[in-house]
Amino acid sequence: MKRTFGEAAVEVTEGDITEQEVDAIVNAANSTLLGGGGVDGAIHRAGGPAILAECKTLGGCKTGDAKITTGGNLPANHVIHTAGPVYRDGKSGESEFLASCHTRSLAIVREYKLRTIAFPAISCGVYGYPIPDAARIAMRTVVKELEQHGGIDLVRFVLFDRPTYAEFARALESVRGTNGS
């Protein structure tokens, strides 16, 4: 599924984020940036040791922030590592942290003059964020950023399974841009 907001396309697809041919992929990292399970482990395995070597120089990453490294052996030239929130009760600032993960990642894309980016479902694995809520937050945040700042051609959400894809597709279908699109 794909929609356009301003000059940027927002796309939802089911697949493997490590295979995406975009300028940067986003890693749903932990705050140490030293690898882990899920998407984080898959990116480190596919990208090779250059990613971890660079991560070791970054001093970790606060929840809601993002940092960039090489893409190593990945098709993407860069990995943007963002530390998503652990879901507790939905009343502990989780939505603000999750929105910030997307905002900060897009800010880095613009800073490095990149044009295309692929996101996973940040915090939806072992961090326990409810997928429908995460999808709505991700879509609202990305559309708002694209409309306010531009400079990005494609934001792709790459989801690991059919149920997660369905929630993100539903969120993309229902999100409204400022121009009513």
- Angstrom distance (rounded) from CA 108 to CA 66: 8
Secondary structure (DSSP) of 96-155 = HHHHHHHHHHHHHHHHTT--EEEE--TT-STT---HHHHHHHHHHHHHHHHHHH---SEE
For residue 117, report the phi and psi dihedrals to the nearest 5 degrees.
-145, 145
- Nearby residues of 50 by Cβ (< 8 Å), 6 or more positions away: 69, 70, 72, 73
- Angstrom distance (rounded) from CA 149 to CA 64: 19
- Number of other CB atoms surrounding residue 112 within 10 Å: 13
Closest among 19, 52, 49, 36 to 84, alpha carbons compared: 36
Q: Which residues are catalytic?
A: 40
Tokens of 80: 């943007």
